[in-house]
Amino acid sequence: MRAIAAATVWADNTPGDYLPLFLLLGLAVLLGATQLIASHVLGKRGVPSPAKDSAYECGIEAETSAHTRFSVKFYLVAVLFILFDVEVVFFFPWAVFFGSGDPAGIFENRQALMQFAFAEMMVFLGILFLGWYWVVKKRALDWEEA
């Protein structure tokens, strides 16, 4: 294929191409804002007073700061979550290719494409689940075992 000279790097392309992105951005902001406002509007608002802020008669004055350190378990689970979560990005190219119906004509017919796509995804999921099974068996997810 042709090597692309540096000049073409600066080739212009219209903001219109990015419209979906901006839409997504707006949507995200909107959603966040709505939730905050909603809670603000719907939530019962009370007047702050010393009596409200202090502990009740039966209670005890707080001695330590509220910021207690999380159990390391949180990190472990979080990390595992991230990994399995991120693996899913590979569904996208798969789905796009499958959905686009093989424009490049790599497979002789749709039948072959479907078979291949199915097998591929099964292998992928199989490996993923094997990993998950291993994690479970290693008791990495259950909380009690320290």
Select 33 or 114, whichever has its Cβ closest to another protein. 114
Whole-number Å distance between alpha carbons of 100 and 30 = 31
Is residue 80 within 8 A of residue 140, CB to CB? The reply is: yes
Within 10 A of 107 (CB to CB), how many other CB atoms are there? 15
Tell me, residue by residue from 29 to 48, as one string, x for binding to another protein by CB under 8 A and - for no binding. Answer: --------------------
- Is 28 near another protein (CB under 8 A)? no
Both structure tokens of 12: 């212009």
**Which range in 3-11, 28-36, 42-50, 52-60 contacts another protein by CB under 8 A?**
3-11
Q: Least distance in Å: CB of 60 to another protein?
A: 29
Q: Least distance in Å: CB of 120 to another protein?
A: 11
Is residue 107 within 8 A of residue 113, CB to CB? The reply is: yes
Half-sphere exposure (Cβ direction) of 131: Cα atoms closer than 13 Å: 11
Is residue 83 within 8 A of residue 75, CB to CB? The reply is: no
Rg of the chain over Cα atoms, rounded to whole angstroms, equals: 27
Q: Least distance in Å: CB of 35 to another protein?
A: 26
Select 9 or 41, whichever has its Cβ closest to another protein. 9
Residues that bind another protein (CB under 8 A): 1-6, 8-13, 15, 18, 72, 75-76, 79, 82-83, 86-87, 89-90, 92-93, 106, 127, 130-131, 133-134, 137-138
